Amino acid sequence: MVSLQQRPKFLKPDDDYFASEKDAQATDDQVTTFVFGANFSLSIDAQRERLPIRKYRDHILFCLENYQALILVGETGSGKSTQLPQYLYEFGWHTKGLIGITEPRRVSAVTLADRVAAERGEMVGDSIGLAIRFVDKQSKSTAVKFMTEGVLLREMLADPLLTQYAVIIIDEAHERNTLTDTALGLLKKIMKKRESLKIIISSATIDAEFFKEFFNIKTKKSTKDTSVILSVEGRMHPVKTFYLQEPCSDYVKETVNTIWKIHKKEPAGDVLAFLTGQEEVLQAIDLLNEFKNAENLENIQILPMYGTLPNNDQLKVFFNPPKFTRKVVIATNIAETSITIPGIVYVIDCGFVKLKWFNSESYTDSLVVVPVSKAAAQQRAGRAGRVRAGKVYRLYTEEDYKNLPEQTPPEMRRTDLSSTVLHLKALGIDNVLRFHFPSPPPAKNLLAALETLYALDALDENGDLTKPIGYLLAEMPLPAMTAKMLYVAGQLRCSEEILTIIAMLQVQSVFSKPATGQGQIKQRIAKRNFEAAEGDLITLLNVYTAFVDNGRTKEFCGRYYLIYRSLKRAHELRTQLESLIQSKLGIPMFSCKGDVELICKCITAGFFPNAAYLHHSGVYKTIRGNTELNIHPLSTIYTLKPPTFVVYCELMQTTKLFMKELTVIRSEWLTELAPHYYHKTTVKD
């Protein structure tokens, strides 16, 4: 435990711990967000009238009548995410078809749908609908539909021209993930076929001119622009920014120290701290709870916020804490842009983010912890100026900030494109190399995706989707390798177990990490009850089975140092996924009754491209690409005799390139299950 005396001082702008301070004005915040309950003392109608976007309502409607695409640059806090769909509804656009709004994350889709439904005095599922992965709340009266971009792309499989929609709003377009860019490219094609469809691209940080030109589809018959830009003012209080004088060695502990210092010395106001992933969030919460219990404090409420958190737990951050209690939210970058947590006055920025990065030579897609961009740092700082003047504490030096890149590269340029290619192929787009992406990915990444899908039997020699595997993989809301594993499980009659493994993989960490040495020892002893020599996925299966057999209780999780909310979420996901594959995909549900070898074979059938072997030098190497890999220290097999062959689900780059979620396999399974991909002469020292 870090002693209180050792904690850095973050109290005053003139404190010598910081090199300097800057005032971040409203223009520095490049975030479009949902303001949850602003001006809550007013009636809902009065709240709506006070939003800055209100005076632009007629301008928006005029642009939509005269142009096919509207690029709406709405400054932070303008209210566009909640008000724009209501303006369209109130002026009758719903009579021409559905009004669809896409969000990059589940939590933003859920909270926006709840807020808009509340403003209309109804429940979600009436005129305001919601569709996210495994959740569908719609009725015959639904006119406005909030959804994730993945849902919209899957709807295009059944209705390529989106004929049921009159207006599509792409919110938070600046995030530029693969789903966003794929949706934008497809919408441009649909615009050419359906002149009646209106597109609104909404963001605070969007490159407006770039998207105006992208959607400006002039023809030889007409020289009139089809797209237009409209800027909407926002509002924000000034924010003071502080930097460290010297770099810190552990930003998780530094984050905890800073939170505690704020709580002890700063005036009332909630705190939002950014870390890179779920494991770091939970580690910080454990440290904070230790300090809280040690000083017997009741006036601090500590809440996590990350993507795989159950919906009900995610929504807790939006509610006001008890009176005289400070709310502290520890979040990943999920809280950076898509949502606004009310009451935040202080923001702590660790300076790092976890990104996917694809290596087309080794065919590996790894998670890499990298410094944030300047744009992301400004977005994080903008969380602090919503309710009053705020402060942001950056856990890096001002010189480091100046050296940060301006923007984060679009995900389309740095990630595996297998799922993207599947979607495009399923929509009948044969030449994906010439598909008009907003930011075209490297051709070698597209080629690697085509080769991977061919190896998975999803594409034939002509590059067309195969039946049934290709079409089935395109319909599943899962990565291609995971979907192939589930398909094979149906053939080998162990789909019950594989479904459980898939659900557990979606929630990342299920083992808690005590901060004290004694707690760590007890946790390691408890973990041995579930560990399997066959690897991490069988261990996860054992954990889930024991959790269900013992009544899915918190007491069981506490006894064995398991994270209850993660297991609860895994159970929800498994139930939803089972319903989906039985009702729509027709995969039979069977149990192999504990045949571990059969389960490992199914895993190999999906993840065989991710195979590695133990080199005589003592490190692992990928069979294809010869990339050096290491077993992650948290893996079940880390302390065992190194197996000769393994397959992994994920790579993580820190000090080395680590394999995560490992399964021990036999070499003959590779040639048996993927003879088109592996030959015995493939492995060489």
One domain, residues 65 and 91? yes
One domain, residues 260 and 240? yes
- The answer to whether 182 touches 156, Cβ cutoff 8 Å, is no
Cα–Cα nearest to 612, from 650, 561, 656, 566:
650
* Residue 446 resides in a domain: no
* Residue 465 resides in a domain: no
One domain, residues 217 and 249? no
Cα–Cα nearest to 424, from 385, 462, 465, 456:
465
pLDDT band at residue 88, thresholds of 50, 70 and 90?
very high
At 16 the pLDDT is: 35
- The answer to whether 60 touches 72, Cβ cutoff 8 Å, is yes
Cα–Cα nearest to 34, from 138, 135, 105, 133:
105
At 517 the pLDDT is: 67
Q: Which letter does DSSP use for residue 654 in this model?
A: S
- The answer to whether 151 touches 101, Cβ cutoff 8 Å, is no
Query: Which residues partner with 48 through β-bridges?
Result: none
pLDDT in tens, 203-236: 776 678 888 999 998 765 667 889 999 988 766 6
* 28: pLDDT strictly greater than 70: no
Separation of alpha carbons 334 and 356, rounded Å = 15
* Residue 597 resides in a domain: yes
- The number of beta carbons lying within 10 Å of the beta carbon of residue 366 is 21
Q: What is the pTM for the complete model shown?
A: 0.77
Candidate from 18-27, 363-372, 520-529 with smallest mean pLDDT: 18-27
Task: Indicate the pairing of strand 620-622 with strand 628-631.
Answer: antiparallel
- The answer to whether 357 touches 415, Cβ cutoff 8 Å, is yes
pLDDT in tens, 149-176: 989 998 998 899 999 999 999 998 887 8
One domain, residues 176 and 280? no
Percentage of residues of the chain with pLDDT beyond 70: 90
One domain, residues 117 and 53? yes
* 177: pLDDT strictly greater than 80: yes
* 75: pLDDT strictly greater than 60: yes
End-of-domain residue from the set 197, 232, 267? 232
| Distances 383 to 30, 282, 345, 376, 416 between C-alpha atoms, Å | 10, 21, 8, 11, 31
pLDDT band at residue 666, thresholds of 50, 70 and 90?
very high
Dihedrals phi, psi of 634, to nearest 5 degrees: -85, 0
At 197 the pLDDT is: 95
Number of domains in the chain: 3
| Distances 1 to 328, 331, 515, 671 between C-alpha atoms, Å | 20, 22, 8, 51
DSSP 83-137: HHHHHHHHTTGGGSSEEEEEESSHHHHHHHHHHHHHHTTS-TTSSEEEEETTEEE
At 176 the pLDDT is: 83
pLDDT band at residue 651, thresholds of 50, 70 and 90?
confident
At 66 the pLDDT is: 92
One domain, residues 534 and 619? yes
* 559: pLDDT strictly greater than 60: yes
pLDDT band at residue 241, thresholds of 50, 70 and 90?
very high
- The number of beta carbons lying within 10 Å of the beta carbon of residue 292 is 19
* Residue 579 resides in a domain: yes
Cα–Cα nearest to 106, from 141, 83, 136:
136
Q: Is 300 helix (H, G, I), strand (E, B) or coil?
A: strand
At 475 the pLDDT is: 86
Separation of alpha carbons 599 and 613, rounded Å = 20
Q: Is 591 helix (H, G, I), strand (E, B) or coil?
A: coil
One domain, residues 265 and 404? yes
Percentage of residues of the chain with pLDDT beyond 90: 47
Q: Is 667 helix (H, G, I), strand (E, B) or coil?
A: helix
Q: Which residues contact 39 (CB under 8 A, 6 or more apart)?
A: 46, 47, 50
Task: Indicate the pairing of strand 326-331 with strand 344-349.
Answer: unpaired
* 381: pLDDT strictly greater than 70: yes
* Residue 494 resides in a domain: yes
* 10: pLDDT strictly greater than 80: no
At 234 the pLDDT is: 67
At 24 the pLDDT is: 36
* 125: pLDDT strictly greater than 60: yes
Among 85-89, 387-391, 432-436, which range has the highest average pLDDT?
85-89
Structure tokens at 29: 């915040």
* Residue 532 resides in a domain: yes
pLDDT in tens, 280-304: 998 899 889 888 888 877 889 999 9
At 4 the pLDDT is: 31
End-of-domain residue from the set 232, 255, 288? 232
Dihedrals phi, psi of 491, to nearest 5 degrees: -75, -35
Average pLDDT for 307-335: 84
At 33 the pLDDT is: 36
> SS3 breakdown of the chain: % helix, strand, coil, rounded to 5?
40, 20, 40
pLDDT band at residue 77, thresholds of 50, 70 and 90?
low
Separation of alpha carbons 337 and 334, rounded Å = 7
End-of-domain residue from the set 207, 232, 257? 232
* 2: pLDDT strictly greater than 60: no
One domain, residues 246 and 225? no
Structure tokens at 155: 């709807």
- The answer to whether 635 touches 624, Cβ cutoff 8 Å, is no
Task: Indicate the pairing of strand 98-103 with strand 165-171.
Answer: parallel
pLDDT in tens, 534-553: 999 999 999 999 999 999 99
At 205 the pLDDT is: 67
More confident residue, 268 or 624: 268
One domain, residues 624 and 484? yes
The CATH number assigned to the domain holding 311 equals 3.40.50.300
At 359 the pLDDT is: 79
* 340: pLDDT strictly greater than 90: no
* 467: pLDDT strictly greater than 70: yes
* 134: pLDDT strictly greater than 60: yes
Q: Is 41 helix (H, G, I), strand (E, B) or coil?
A: coil
* Residue 24 resides in a domain: no
* Residue 363 resides in a domain: yes
One domain, residues 350 and 226? no
Separation of alpha carbons 373 and 129, rounded Å = 35
At 61 the pLDDT is: 92
Residue 223, domain extent: 44-232
Q: Is 433 helix (H, G, I), strand (E, B) or coil?
A: helix
One domain, residues 570 and 630? yes
At 100 the pLDDT is: 96
* 11: pLDDT strictly greater than 80: no
At 9 the pLDDT is: 35
One domain, residues 492 and 613? yes
pLDDT band at residue 327, thresholds of 50, 70 and 90?
very high
